C-alpha cells in the first residue's frame, strides 16, 4: 500500500504542495519517498529511502522547480526500500516519470520483452516497466496519451498511476485498476491522490475514479475516459466534509473497522505474490524432515490453521508452536533437517525472533512470512514472503490475519503439488476457489456489519463467552476469542468442541453465550451434537453458519451467516469475519477504543 499524489497548478510551486500531501499520506507507507516536477522541458526528481522528514532534511524536497508534479510515499512490494527503487521511475530518455500504487503481475515478462528491445532498467521494481512501455510506444510514433493508453492495456495486476511527461508538460495522466485513486478539483489547480487526506487542505471537491478509468488533468480542467473504449465518463464531484483525521480512517470511526473492510483488497494482494518465493518456501518445507510453524497471538492462530492445511493437502505434519514456548518444547528436536516457518505481521516480535535465532544456531532452515519490509524477520530468513497487507494501525490483527491464512494456504497447496498428493483436478479446483475468496469475504463483510452491531447490543453485558470449533476452525474459535478479549475485555474461553466434556462444559449455566463455528464440512454432525449439549444446559447459542443453513439456524438463539466456501481449508478466512466485527462492536458498545486496547502494543519487541 503506497500513497501517490499529483498536482497541476497555474503557477504555484508544485514541490511544496506535493510534499505536504505526501505527509498526509505517510500512513499508507513510509519506507521511501520521491517527487518529480516538470520545468522548462525537463523532469526534475528527488527521491530516497527513508521517512519523509528524514529525506526532506537531507534533500530539501521543496526545492524542485515547476508548477506541475507527482509524488509517492512507498510501502515496498517488489524491490527492497532503496533510493533506486523509490518512485518516481523514468524511461531511458527521462522524458516520462511515473508513480504507482499496486502490483504489476506480468512485470517479469514485460521487462524481459523491453530489455530485448534495448531498454535499460535501473530498479528492481515492477513499476519501472510502465515508463519503458510508454517510451516504446512513443518510438512507434504514437502521441503521448495514446502511448500511455496502449501501455495500460498491457498491464496485468493492480494500479493507481500518475504519469507526467515533457511531451505534455501541462498534464498529468492518472489511471486506476483496483488501487484507489481520486481527483481533486481546486481553484486554479487540479490534483490526484490515493486518498482523501492528501487533498483536504487543498480542496473538498473530489471525484473518485472507478476501475478501468483514465483521467487527464491540467490546472484548469480534467477529462475522464474508460480505458477499454475511450468513452468519456461524466461524473459529478462530491463535496467532502471530513476532517483530516476522519479522512485517514476513510470515514470509518476506527482503524480496526477500516482494516476489517480492507480485507478483500488485502486478500487480492496476497494472490499476487511472486511465484518464485512461494515455490522456494514450498521446496524447503517439502525437503525438511520436521516443520515448525512458530508465532505469537493471532499469527499463532494462523499457524494452527496452517497445520491443518499442510496435513490435509500435503500430508505433512507441521507443528504450530507458540514462539515463547518453542525452545522449551521443541528446542532439542531442532536440527539441520528442520525448517522453521516464522509468521509475524511486524517481523519484530521478540519471542518469534528468539526462536528463529535459536533454530538458526542449530542449522535449521529459517523461512519467514511477514508484512513489514526490512523487518528483522526478513533479514534473518533464508527465504521470506511479504504478505502485502499494507500498514495495519489498529492494535488487533484483522486484515493481516486473514492474509496470513491465504498465503499459508497457497504454500500448502504448492507443497501438495510438489509431493504429488493431489490430482490435477483437485489442484485446479482449489486454485479456482482460492481466487474467489476475496469476493466471498467482501460479501461476508456486507452481510454482517449490521448483524454484528445488533448482536453486540444484545450481549453487551454478558460477562463471559465461550467459542467452540472443530477441525481447522478450532483456530477460528481461538482467534474470535482473542479479538473479543483483547479489545472488549470480556473473559472468554475457546477450545476444540471435542474437549468440551473433558472439563469446560462445567462452566456452562443458563444464559452463557456459546459461539459455534459451523461450516458445512465433516465436522458438522459432531458440532450439532455439541450445540445440543450446550443447549441442554441453558447456554445461549450464537452460531456462525454458511448462508442458508436452516437446520443450525433453528438451533441457534442468534446467528451470523457467511458466504459459501467449498473447501474447509479456506473456511477460517471467511468464518472469522463476523467474529472480528462482533468484537469490534462489543468494544464500541462498552465505550472502549478498539484501536488502542489497554496494556497492548502493536509490536511486542520485549520477551
Ligand atoms: C492480536 C494481535 C497479537 C499479534 C501478536 C504477534 O490481535 O495482534 O496477538 O498477533 O503480538 O504479532 P506479530 O504477528 O507482529 O508477530
- What gap in Å lies between CA 26 and CA 20, rounded to an integer? 10
Nearest Cα residue to 581 out of 417, 457, 405:
457
Q: Residue 280 domain-assigned?
A: yes
Q: Residue 438 domain-assigned?
A: no
Judge if the upstream peptide bond of residue 88 is cis by omega within 30 degrees of 0.
yes
Residues 166, 311 within the same domain:
no
Q: Choose the catalytic residue: 2, 7, 192, 518.
A: 2
How many structural domains are present in the chain?
3
Please identify, among 228, 246, 264, the residue that sits at the C-terminal boundary of a domain: 246
Residues 108, 184 within the same domain:
yes
From 294, 604, 605, the mutation candidate for ligand 1 (largest count of ligand atoms within 8 A of CB) is 604
Please compute the mean of the pLDDT values over residues 569-598 and round it to a whole number. Answer: 96
CATH number at residue 40: 3.60.20.10
Please compute the mean of the pLDDT values over residues 262-272 and round it to a whole number. Answer: 93
pLDDT per residue as tens digits for the range 116-134: 999 999 999 999 999 999 9
**pLDDT classification of 78: cutoffs 50, 70, 90:** confident
Residues 254, 215 within the same domain:
no
Nearest Cα residue to 427 out of 407, 413, 408, 415:
413
Check if 2 is active-site. Answer: yes
Would you call 162 helix, strand, or coil by DSSP? strand
In the predicted model, is pLDDT for residue 607 greater than 60?
Answer: no
Q: b or e along 318-345 (b: 16 or more beta carbons within 10 Å of the residue's beta carbon)?
A: bbbbbbbebbeebeeebeeebbbbbbbb
Check if 92 is active-site. Answer: no
pLDDT of 445: 98
**Ligand 1 mean position, distance from CA 399 (Å):** 12
Q: Residue 605 domain-assigned?
A: no
pLDDT of 407: 98
Q: b or e along 567-583 (b: 16 or more beta carbons within 10 Å of the residue's beta carbon)?
A: bbbbbbbbbbbbbbbbb
Please identify, among 231, 246, 261, the residue that sits at the C-terminal boundary of a domain: 246
| CB neighbourhood size of 57 (10 A) | 11
Q: Residue 607 domain-assigned?
A: no
CATH number at residue 296: 3.40.50.10490
**Ligand 1 mean position, distance from CA 233 (Å):** 44
pLDDT of 374: 67
Within 8 A by CB and 6+ apart from 432, the residues are none
- What gap in Å lies between CA 85 and CA 207, rounded to an integer? 30
pLDDT per residue as tens digits for the range 280-312: 999 999 999 999 999 999 999 999 999 999 999
Residues 589, 573 within the same domain:
yes
Residues 237, 260 within the same domain:
no
Would you call 279 helix, strand, or coil by DSSP? helix
From 254, 255, 297, the mutation candidate for ligand 1 (largest count of ligand atoms within 8 A of CB) is 297
| Cell numbers representing residue 279 in the block | 515455490
Angle (CA) 574-317-480 rounded to 5° is: 30
Residues 224, 260 within the same domain:
no
Residues 80, 225 within the same domain:
yes
CA dist 384 to 407, 429, 586, Å?
Answer: 12, 27, 36
| Cell numbers representing residue 513 in the block | 453465550
- What gap in Å lies between CA 436 and CA 431, rounded to an integer? 9
CA dist 51 to 26, 56, 114, 453, Å?
Answer: 8, 8, 32, 38
**Ligand 1 mean position, distance from CA 45 (Å):** 38
Residues forming beta bridges with residue 343, ordered by sequence position: 369
Residue 404 in contact with residue 264, Cβ under 8 Å? no
| Cell numbers representing residue 10 in the block | 497555474
Q: Residue 437 domain-assigned?
A: no
Residues 504, 565 within the same domain:
yes
Point out the ligand 1 atom lying closest to the alpha carbon of residue 396.
7
Burial of residue 593 (number of CB atoms within 10 Å: 0-12, 13-18, 19+): middle
pLDDT of 388: 87
Q: Residue 441 domain-assigned?
A: no
Please compute the mean of the pLDDT values over residues 174-189 and round it to a whole number. Answer: 93
- What gap in Å lies between CA 25 and CA 2, rounded to an integer? 8
Residues 120, 211 within the same domain:
yes
- Find the residues whose C-beta lies inside 6 A of ligand 1: 296-299, 344-346, 349, 352, 396-397, 482, 486, 603-604
**pLDDT classification of 605: cutoffs 50, 70, 90:** low
Nearest Cα residue to 300 out of 366, 367, 376, 351:
351
Residue 339 in contact with residue 333, Cβ under 8 Å? no
Rg (C-alpha) for the chain, rounded Å, is: 25
In the predicted model, is pLDDT for residue 1 greater than 80?
Answer: no
% of the chain with per-residue pLDDT over 90? 84
CA 561 to chain CA centroid, Å, is 24
Q: Residue 84 domain-assigned?
A: yes
Residues 409, 466 within the same domain:
no
In the predicted model, is pLDDT for residue 604 greater than 70?
Answer: no
**Looking at ligand 1, which residue's alpha carbon is closest to its atom 4?**
297
Nearest Cα residue to 338 out of 359, 357, 320, 354:
359
| Cell numbers representing residue 316 in the block | 505433512
Helices (H) and strands (E) in the chain, counts: 20, 24
Q: Choose the catalytic residue: 51, 535, 596, 602.
A: 602
In the predicted model, is pLDDT for residue 228 greater than 70?
Answer: yes
pLDDT per residue as tens digits for the range 28-55: 777 899 999 999 999 999 999 998 999 9
Cα dihedral sign, 559-562-566-569: negative
Residue 48 in contact with residue 86, Cβ under 8 Å? yes
Please identify, among 215, 246, 277, the residue that sits at the C-terminal boundary of a domain: 246
- What gap in Å lies between CA 96 and CA 194, rounded to an integer? 20
Q: Residue 495 domain-assigned?
A: yes
What's the domain range around 57? Answer: 3-246
DSSP output for 387-447: -------SSS-SHHHHHHHHHHHHHHHHHHHHTT-S-HHHHHHHHHHHHHHHHHHHHHHHH
In the predicted model, is pLDDT for residue 62 greater than 90?
Answer: yes
Nearest Cα residue to 409 out of 422, 395, 397, 396:
422
Residues 231, 112 within the same domain:
yes
Alpha helices (H) in 105-243, listed in sequence order? 107-116, 129-139, 144-153, 196-199
pLDDT: which is higher, 11 or 153: 153
Residues 347, 376 within the same domain:
yes
| Cell numbers representing residue 105 in the block | 503481475
Amino acid at each position: 500500500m503506497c500513497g501517490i499524489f499529483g498536482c497541476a497548478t497555474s503557477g504555484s510551486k508544485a514541490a511544496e504542495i506535493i510534499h505536504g500531501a505526501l505527509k498526509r499520506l505517510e500512513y499508507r507507507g513510509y519506507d521511501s519517498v520521491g517527487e518529480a516536477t516538470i520545468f522548462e522541458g525537463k523532469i526534475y526528481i528527488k527521491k530516497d529511502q527513508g521517512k519523509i522528514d528524514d529525506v526532506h532534511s537531507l534533500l530539501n524536497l521543496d526545492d524542485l522547480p515547476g508548477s506541475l508534479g507527482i509524488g509517492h510515499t512507498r510501502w515496498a512490494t517488489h524491490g527492497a526500500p532503496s533510493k533506486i527503487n523509490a518512485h518516481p521511475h523514468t524511461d531511458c530518455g527521462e522524458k516520462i516519470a511515473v508513480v504507482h500504487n499496486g502490483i504489476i503481475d506480468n512485470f517479469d515478462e514485460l521487462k524481459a520483452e523491453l530489455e530485448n528491445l534495448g531498454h535499460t532498467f535501473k530498479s528492481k521494481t515492477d513499476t519501472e516497466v510502465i515508463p519503458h512501455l510508454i517510451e516504446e510506444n512513443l518510438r512507434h510514433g504514437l502521441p503521448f496519451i495514446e502511448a500511455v493508453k496502449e501501455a495500460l492495456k498491457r498491464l496485468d495486476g493492480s494500479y493507481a498511476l500518475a504519469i507526467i511527461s515533457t511531451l505534455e508538460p501541462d498534464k498529468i495522466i492518472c489511471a486506476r485498476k483496483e488501487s484507489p485513486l481520486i481527483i481533486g478539483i481546486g481553484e486554479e489547480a487540479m490534483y490526484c491522490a490515493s486518498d482523501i487526506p492528501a487533498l483536504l487542505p487543498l480542496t473538498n471537491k473530489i471525484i473518485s475514479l472507478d476501475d478501468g478509468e483514465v483521467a487527464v488533468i491540467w490546472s484548469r480542467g480534467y477529462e475522464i475516459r474508460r480505458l477499454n473504449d475511450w468513452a468519456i465518463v461524466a461524473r459529478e464531484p462530491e463535496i467532502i466534509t471530513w476532517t483530516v483525521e476522519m479522512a485517514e480512517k476513510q470515514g470509518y470511526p476506527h482503524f480496526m473497522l477500516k482494516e476489517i473492510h480492507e480485507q478483500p483488497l488485502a486478500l487480492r494482494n496476497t494472490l499476487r505474490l511472486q511465484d518464485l518465493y512461494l515455490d522456494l518456501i514450498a521446496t524447503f518445507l517439502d525437503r525438511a524432515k520436521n516443520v515448525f510453524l512458530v508465532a505469537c497471538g493471532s499469527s499463532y492462530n494462523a499457524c494452527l490453521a496452517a497445520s491443518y492445511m499442510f496435513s490435509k493437502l500435503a500430508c505433512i505434519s507441521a507443528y504450530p508452536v507458540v514462539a515463547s514456548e518453542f525452545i522449551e518444547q521443541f528446542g532439542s528436536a531442532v536440527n539441520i533437517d528442520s525448517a522453521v516457518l516464522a509468521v509475524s505481521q511486524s517481523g519484530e516480535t521478540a519471542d518469534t525472533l528468539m526462536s528463529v535465532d535459536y533454530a538458526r544456531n542449530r542449522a535449521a532452515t529459517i523461512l519467514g512470512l511477514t508484512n513489514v519490509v526490512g523487518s528483522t524477520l526478513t533479514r534473518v530468513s533464508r527465504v521470506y514472503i511479504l504478505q502485502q497487507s499494507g500498514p495495519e494501525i489498529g492494535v488487533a490483527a484483522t486484515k493481516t490475519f486473514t492474509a496470513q491464512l491465504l498465503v499459508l494456504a497457497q504454500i500448502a497447496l504448492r507443497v501438495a503439488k510438489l509431493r504429488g498428493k493431489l490430482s490435477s483436478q483437485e489442484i485446479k479446483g482449489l486454485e479456482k476457489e482460492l481466487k474467489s475468496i476475496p469476493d466471498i469475504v467482501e460479501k461476508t463483510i456486507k452481510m454482517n456489519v449490521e448483524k454484528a452491531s445488533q448482536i453486540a447490543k444484545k450481549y453487551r453485558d454478558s460477562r463471559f463467552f465461550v467459542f467452540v470449533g472443530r477441525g481447522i476452525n478450532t483456530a477460528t474459535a481461538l482467534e474470535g476469542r482473542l479479538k473479543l478479549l483483547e479489545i472488549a475485555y470480556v473473559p472468554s474461553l475457546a477450545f476444540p468442541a471435542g474437549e468440551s466434556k473433558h472439563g469446560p462444559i462445567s462452566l456452562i449455566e443458563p444464559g452463557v453465550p456459546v459461539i459455534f463455528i459451523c461450516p458445512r464440512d465433516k465436522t458438522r454432525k459432531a458440532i450439532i451434537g455439541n450445540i445440543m449439549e450446550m443447549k441442554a444446559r441453558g447456554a445461549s447459542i450464537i452460531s456462525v453458519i454458511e448462508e442458508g443453513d436452516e437446520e443450525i439456524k433453528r438451533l441457534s438463539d442468534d446467528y451470523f451467516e457467511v458466504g459459501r466456501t467449498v473447501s474447509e481449508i479456506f473456511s477460517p478466512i471467511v468464518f472469522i469475519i463476523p467474529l472480528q466485527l462482533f468484537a469490534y462492536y462489543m468494544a464500541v458498545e462498552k465505550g472502549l477504543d478498539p484501536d488502542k486496547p489497554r496494556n497492548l502494543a502493536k509490536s511486542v519487541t520485549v520477551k
